[in-house]
Amino acid sequence: FDMFVLAFVERLFRPTYKKDDIVLGKKLGEGSFGAVYRVSLAKKPSSKGGDFVLKKATEYGAVEIWMNERVRRACANSCADFVYGFLENSSKKGAEYWLLWRFEGEATLADLMQSREFPYNVEALILGEVQDLPKGLDRENRIIQTIMRQLLFALDGLHSTGIVHRDIKPQNIIFSEGSRTFKIIDLGAAADLRVGINYIPKEFLLDPRYAAPEQYIMSTQTPSAPSAPVAAALSPVLWQLNLPDRFDIYSVGLIFLQMAFPGLRSDSSLIQFNRQLKRCDYDLVSWRQTVEPRASPELRKGFELLDLDGGIGWELLASMVRFKARQRISAKTALAHPYFDREGLLALSFIQ
């Protein structure tokens, strides 16, 4: 009961916005489901200053607003700071949903991973300064470990709330300059299984580069969503049966792989990796056996990094990238994995 009152009061006193309050700036992206702009808000007594991001979305915007409202209340630190969402009818293109977030920062993980400086560019962002230390595998491993911890922490927040993102990829992870952590964005393909907001099948929304194999299995059937009350009653059971959160774990495993292997960061090499893994029946160990004997120096570097500390990184990676969802580690269990026992980056900044 208290939660409902709080949610209601919170909403009542939160500033609301309309089209005329929004001053469009630079376009940040455009997909088939809407466009994203950097914007500023015309000053209102109640409004906070600063930069914002606006997404003009099509019909899927309704679900994205629902998901962002839920995240705001349940696990605010996992995702970009959501401000307000509304239906905008005056657009020439017909009804659109407009969504506002705080502008978190300039770079996504995809931008940062494309740089030759990765992962040192991320170290500088997280610590707020450039470390004058020799470069090397151990330092890179600490940075990647810190990024993985942040990603799994954010994902655990979503999953504990009952939300599966379904489109986890470096392009949908933003570096928040305010909190100096990575946050998840783009809940347009997310499913909330506890309340039954889950309109599968929507595979066409999913990015095949990062999608777990079961998505292709699901698309051959056409499950229809049960009614909301039925879904709400069934969802804890369905969650345990299907472990839908493990879909995201596979995607975050592929991000881990790309961070460790510089040679797998491009789209074309990731697509090639996916083909190779499929040929190995999605068995990462047999993929390693086939590629390692004739591995390029770049590929060898990845194995070397994951083999540090008795191969604990490789062990974690292999527990995420598995064919069967049931055999994949959960975000919460992954955070307790021995890979994270070693101190990451924050320890370094405390020493100074």
Q: Give the Cα separation of 38 and 27 in Å (integer).
A: 6
Nearer to Mg ion, 170 or 344 (CB): 170
In angstroms, rounded to a whole number, what is the distance separating the alpha carbons of residues 328 and 248? 10
Per-residue mark of binding to ligand ADP, 46-75 (x: CB under 6 A): -------x-x--------------------
Q: Does 103 bind ligand ADP (CB under 6 A)?
A: yes
Least distance CB 108 / Mg ion (angstroms): 8
Cα 229 to Cα 4, 193, 222, 225, distances in angstroms: 18, 11, 21, 11
Residues 6+ apart with CB under 8 A from 350: none
Please identify which residue in 28, 74, 291, 318 interacts with ligand ADP, judged by CB under 6 A: 28
28 interface partner picked from ligand ADP, Mg ion, none, CB below 5 to 8 A per type = ligand ADP
Q: Is residue 29 a contact residue for ligand ADP (CB under 6 A)? A: yes
Q: Closer to ligand ADP by CB, 171 or 251: give it.
A: 171
Positions marked active-site: 167
From the list 184-192, 224-232, 302-310, 324-332, the region that binds ligand ADP by CB under 6 A is 184-192
Q: Which phi and psi angles does 141 have, rounded to 5°?
A: -65, -40
Instruction: Indicate the residue among 71 and 348 with the shorter CB distance to Mg ion.
Output: 71
Taking the C-alpha atoms of residue 141 and residue 120, their distance in angstroms, rounded to an integer, is 11
Chain centroid to CA 290: 30
Q: Minimal distance in Å, beta carbon 60 to ligand ADP?
A: 9
Q: How far is the CB of 51 from ligand ADP (least distance, A)?
A: 8
Give min distance, CB of 207 to Mg ion, in A.
Answer: 9
Q: How far is CA 231 from the centre of its chain?
A: 25
Nearer to Mg ion, 187 or 308 (CB): 187
Can residue 100 be called a binding residue for ligand ADP (CB under 6 A)? no
Residue 34 CB-density burial (10 A; 0-12 exposed, 13-18 middle, 19+ buried): buried
Residue 171 sits in the site that holds ligand ADP (CB under 6 A): yes
Contact region for Mg ion (CB under 5 A) — 135-143, 168-176, 233-241, 295-303? 168-176
Among 288, 204, 189, smallest CA distance to 247 is for 189
Closer to Mg ion by CB, 110 or 264: give it. Answer: 110
- Quickly list DSSP for 9-48: HHHHHS----GGGEEEEEEEEEETTEEEEEEEE---TT--
Contacts of 316 by beta carbon, 8 Å cutoff, 6+ apart: 148, 256, 329, 334, 337, 339
Kindly state whether residue 186 participates in binding ligand ADP, applying the rule CB under 6 A. Answer: yes
Say if CB 218 and CB 203 are below 8 A apart. yes
Residue 78 touching ligand ADP (CB under 6 A): no
94 binds ligand ADP (CB under 6 A): no
Interaction of residue 172 with Mg ion, rule CB under 5 A: yes
Cα dihedral sign for 99, 45, 175, 333?
Answer: negative
Q: What angle (nearest 5°) sits at the alpha carbon of residue 281, between those of residues 280 and 286?
A: 40
Give residues in contact with Mg ion (CB under 5 A): 172, 186
Give residues in contact with ligand ADP (CB under 6 A): 28-29, 31, 33-34, 36, 53, 55, 80, 101, 103-105, 108, 171-172, 174, 185-186, 188
